Amino acid sequence: MRLFRTIAGAFLALLLLGAATAQAASLQSIGKFEEPIYVTSDPGNANRLFVVERAGRIQQVENGVVSTFADIRSAVGCSAECSGERGLLSIALAPDFDSSGRLYVDYANNATGTIYVAELTAVGGAASILTLRDVLAIPHSEESNHNGGQLQFGPDGYLYISTGDGGGSNDIHHNAQNLKSLLGKILRIDPLQSGGQAYSVPPGNPFPAAVAPDNTIWSYGLRNPFRFSFDRLSGDLVIGDVGQEKQEEVDYAPAPLLGAGANYGWNCREGFIAGPTEDPDPGCSTASPTAFTQPVFDYPHEDPGGGAAHGCAIIGGYVVRDPSLGDLYGRYLYGDLCVGQLRSLELANPLSDRSEGIHVEDLNSFGEDSCGRLYVVSGEGQVSRLVGTAPAVCPESTPAAAPHSPSFVGIRAVAGKVRHGGRASITAWVSPCKGRRGELIKLREGRRKLGSRYLSRACSVNFRPRIRHRGSFRASIGEDGAYVSAKSRKLRIRIEHPHRHKN
């Protein structure tokens, strides 16, 4: 009887192990492209995909038809091939893309190395390079690697940008810990033109007194945060930071602070261990151990065996919010360039890390559409959707979130200054968008209700209130069957008096 129990217990353990590692998802081809490096979707139409090709083309995929949405190859400058890690690295479509046509591109110019964040405006279903407007230019001439390259609109509606440490090894240019350099950072801006400036610095940035553009720095101490993402349900920020010779790391910044002012430690730290000893930053020896924000997970370059994570360059992914992917839901999906194995973990439990039994050769990136479905990009040309045993459904009217989930209302002025008696242009939007299209959003000035508008497909609206006095505005949306009510921060409009002169 004891022997039978032992055999039965061992058999049950094997069954449980098989269940834990069983492949819960597979890859469904979206198409083949020329050196694809990123994929995203229209915020208001999850079935309209945009595939980024490194040389500078943005391809649109809709109903199985592929067409060129934008071609900025002449700006990117990869005439033969892109040098090192340069090229067009990612794009981000504005939350109000369906009404404004605005999207943003991140590319490292092949000749100069300068990292550009630029705006494109779509007209008639495509965007011309003639509309390209530089928003931010970051010098990066010494080395061709470590450009970062991720753009994402955060839950607050502002644009977040990742940059690498400038390249080379050991952070030889000492940028990551330097708050007078935009390299080795996450940056945060409002990309709309304001007061004659190409962008503005949102309230809440952690270094407001810094000289521009250093006041755009959101967090620092990163080596090469090639890919980061926001959890579409919680709003949390998750960063995959590429390591050097020993460790790869995952950094986590929960909402609502999202890591404002956080120092992730490079080159004083590499994952959970000390950074390289060859050329440490001068501040490493005097820094307090508590000065750095520790990663939530790291893994080594050397294979420890037993099916544990290892590799050479982490490819950060997304927290899975596609219910069709079974027990992957709520786990952070990531991979590694050199190993190509898709893995996942619960961010609160690093011991939960596991392989998903899917291999992707030359893994370049992950992507997410506005429905929460996930995509995998191979540098060999293949872009695929991650699918479960049941098809993912993206209905227009059924919310994807659980009942009474939190939501966020953002608000911004297109122009910060308005003449007395003139009209302001105010955009408000709601996130998550799923299930909220067509709902009413209200605008108030103080206690006075100014009006209501129905949310567009992109969950945004535009108001044009007349300003007779100094204005303070707030947008709000009511509770429905899936979301609690929410209010935006206060937006203050400054009145410009043309006849007021200084003595």
pLDDT tens across 373-401, in order? Answer: 999 999 999 999 999 988 787 755 334 44
pLDDT tens across 325-362, in order? Answer: 999 999 999 999 999 999 999 999 999 999 999 999 99
Looking at the DSSP bridge assignments, the partners of residue 183 are none
Tell me what the mean pLDDT of segment 284-295 comes to.
87
Give pLDDT, residue 222.
98
Give pLDDT, residue 496.
65
Give pLDDT, residue 157.
87
Pairing of strands 460-463, 217-220: unpaired
Give pLDDT, residue 485.
87
The C-alpha atoms of residue 288 and residue 64 are separated, in whole angstroms, by 54
- The larger pLDDT score, comparing residue 51 to residue 457, is at 51
Residue that has been written with the tokens 């969950």 in this structure: 459
For 227, list phi and psi in degrees, rounded to 5.
Answer: -135, 130
CB 185 within 8 A of CB 220: yes
Give pLDDT, residue 425.
82
Tell me what the mean pLDDT of segment 402-406 comes to.
62
Considering the domain delimited by 25-387, tell me its CATH architecture: 6 Propeller (2.120)
Strands (E), 163-310: 185-189, 217-220, 227-230, 237-241, 247-253, 269-270, 273-274, 297-300
Half-sphere exposure of 47 (CA within 13 A, CB side): 9
Give pLDDT, residue 419.
61
The C-alpha atoms of residue 348 and residue 342 are separated, in whole angstroms, by 19
Strands (E), 109-164: 115-123, 126-127, 133-138, 151-153, 159-162
Report the SS3 class of residue 366: strand
Exposure b/e, 259-289, CB count within 10 A at least 16 = b: bbebbbbbbbbbbeeebbeeebbeebeeeee
Give pLDDT, residue 420.
60
DSSP string, 181-197: --SSEEEEEB-S-BTTB
Q: What is the edge-to-edge ordering of all strands in the sheet holding 426-431?
A: 408-413, 426-431, 460-463
pLDDT tens across 44-98, in order? Answer: 899 999 999 999 999 999 999 999 999 999 999 998 899 999 999 999 999 889 8
The token pair at 411 is 């608000």
CB 451 within 8 A of CB 442: yes
The C-alpha atoms of residue 490 and residue 472 are separated, in whole angstroms, by 6
Q: How remote is the C-alpha of 407 from its chain's centroid?
A: 18
| Nearest partner of 174 among 39, 266, 42, judged by Cα | 266
CB 76 within 8 A of CB 405: no
CB 108 within 8 A of CB 115: yes
- The larger pLDDT score, comparing residue 18 to residue 324, is at 324
Report the SS3 class of residue 89: strand
Q: What is the edge-to-edge ordering of all strands in the sheet holding 374-378?
A: 26-32, 382-387, 374-378, 363-368
Residue that has been written with the tokens 């067009």 in this structure: 88
The token pair at 449 is 């209700």
The answer on pLDDT for 438 being more than 70 is yes
Q: Where in the chain is the domain with CATH 2.60.40.2470?
A: 408-496
Please state which of the four CATH numbers 2.60.40.2470, 3.60.150.10, 3.30.413.10, 3.40.50.2000 is assigned to the domain occupying 408-496.
2.60.40.2470
The C-alpha atoms of residue 55 and residue 125 are separated, in whole angstroms, by 21
Give pLDDT, residue 271.
95
Q: Where in the chain is the domain with CATH 2.120.10.30?
A: 25-387
For 103, list phi and psi in degrees, rounded to 5.
Answer: -145, 160
Residue type, 352: S
Q: How many Cβ atoms are within 10 Å of 223's Cβ, its own excluded? A: 27
The token pair at 403 is 């009942």
Q: What is the edge-to-edge ordering of all strands in the sheet holding 227-230?
A: 227-230, 237-241, 247-253, 297-300
Report how far apart, in Å, the C-alpha atoms of 206 and of each of 174, 187, 262 are: 21, 11, 9
CB 158 within 8 A of CB 189: yes
Report pTM.
Answer: 0.79
Residue type, 326: G
The answer on pLDDT for 501 being more than 80 is no
Give pLDDT, residue 9.
42
- HEC string for 461-497: EEECCECCCCEEEEEEECCCCCECCEECCCEEEEEEC
Q: How remote is the C-alpha of 132 from its chain's centroid?
A: 21
CB 283 within 8 A of CB 305: no
